[in-house]
Structure 1
């Protein structure tokens, strides 16, 4: 499969299952390789990752559901939220947590003051690349995924329950698993509204 084929195949999957042929260790290696080889500014490698499967994966989404209950007091709205968590996230095989090591960002800000105001932005760009690389790697392995952002609501709960170092800042959650329902067709803006070519 070419890179372009992988890009076209990668979709946000909201109906996940646990019918995964890979072991947790194999998935861990897939994630580790994708993130290790994703570029970061000044090669500062600020992205940190935890891969959760089994009871740890389920615990994350149980904690998230409990936390959201305090933010969504309307019972009907909360039940809709809970249904989405259970079917789109918790029903999957695992979740990848992406963090920024803020101590590394701070070190570069202090040691290269000329670019100090850029390093946090660059760390976010590094996240985007690492998350996309991971998503493509999961796609290549036949797995579905989505990218979620329940941070900062769940930051403290995640830190307390998963032994997160104090310098790690949660940036995203990527539930993954078997693809139980195909994604809807994707629409695109007109090329003329997005791209320009200058040539001589």
Structure 2
């Protein structure tokens, strides 16, 4: 399978199940391998990844729901949100939490003051590359996933529950699992609106 075909296979899968043939340890290794080989500015390796499965995965989405309930406008809108989470993200096999280690970023800012204004942006690029690498690698293994962003709403509750280092700044949550239904057809903008060749 070519990389381009893997890119086409990687889609946002919202209808997830927990019927995977891989073990939690095998998925842990998939995630770690993808992040380990992902590039980062100055080889800073500022991305941190935590793979949650089983009770820890379910606890995460319970925390998300609890925090969303505190900001819900009304019971009806919260019910829609709960249905989405229960039947899409929580119903999966696990979730990858993606963090930026802010201590790494701060250290680079201090060591290389000429580039200090860029290191946060570069850490976001590293996070995006690592996230995409995980997503494509999961797709290669036949595992569906999507990229979610309930941070910063859940940051304090997550820290209290799992006791992550204080300098780990949550950037995304990637629920994954068996593909219970395929993604919708992807629509593309016209190429001439996005791409230019200048010679």
TM range (shorter): over 0.9
Aligned to 2:64: 64
Root-mean-square deviation (CA), in Å?
0.5
Distance 1:185 1:130 in 2: 25
Aligned to 2:166: 166
Shift of 1:163: 1.7
SS in 2 for 1:70: helix
SS in 2 for 1:177: strand
- Stretches of 4+ aligned residues off by more than 6 angstroms: none
Shift of 1:73: 3.5
Aligned to 1:87: 87
State the number of aligned residues: 199
TM-score normalized by structure 1?
0.99
Distance 2:196 2:63 in 1: 46
Shift of 1:105: 0.2
Deviation string 1:44-66 (CA, Å, 9 cap, x unpaired) is: 01000100000000000001001
Aligned to 1:179: 179
Distance 1:159 1:10 in 2: 30
Distance 1:163 1:54 in 2: 18
Question: 5+ unaligned residues in a row in structure 2: which ranges?
Answer: none
Deviation string 1:144-187 (CA, Å, 9 cap, x unpaired) is: 00000000000011111112001100000000000001111000
Aligned to 2:137: 137
SS in 1 for 2:71: coil
Shift of 1:6: 0.4
Aligned to 1:6: 6
